[in-house]
Amino acid sequence: MRALVQRVTEASVSVAGEITGQIHTGLLVLLGVGLSDNDACAAKLAHKVSHLRVFKDAAGKMNLSLLDIKGEMLVVSQFTLYAETSKGNRPSFIAAAKPDAALAMYEAFVGYCQSLGVPVSTGIFQADMQVSLVNDGPVTLICEVDR
């Protein structure tokens, strides 16, 4: 399971011109699910992302987590994080989980984040979404867990 995590001052996701999820200070998480990902992966990644110390403390050091600052999370499904681009010019998505399995893991990730006390907004799985954000820093990280 992979997440591209961006520290934001605001972010939103829209489908057909309507906002489906919106946050202020927090993390935008673009979430990709691989073929072998399972519930344990979702739990591990939710814990990792929620506890990442990427927010500034009083001394200006990145030392606080999303939980510490009582921030929000916007989670958007992103199967393209599993694109294989080493051969040719057309990406292959063979390593991405099939939609039914990916939806279950996406929902599990969201549920685990919520169980940790994180307010979570989401996009709509498999929809054509438009994501807007103000990246703070910018801070952008790739987090990955294996089975």
Beta strands in the chain (DSSP E): 2-15, 18-23, 26-32, 55-56, 62-64, 72-77, 120-122, 129-144
Rounded CA gap, 28 and 11, in Å?
7
Residues 66 and 25 sit within 8 Å (Cβ to Cβ): no
The answer to whether 79 is a known catalytic residue is yes
By CB atoms closer than 10 A (0-12, 13-18, 19+), residue 139 is middle
Marked catalytic residue, from 6, 55, 79, 109: 79
Catalytic residue among 22, 25, 55, 80: 80
Asked if 130 is an active-site residue, the reply is no
Select which of 6, 55, 78, 122 is catalytic: 78
Calpha distance 132→144 (Å, rounded): 23
Residue 85 among the catalytic residues: no
Radius of gyration of the chain (CA): 15
Residues tagged active-site: 78-80
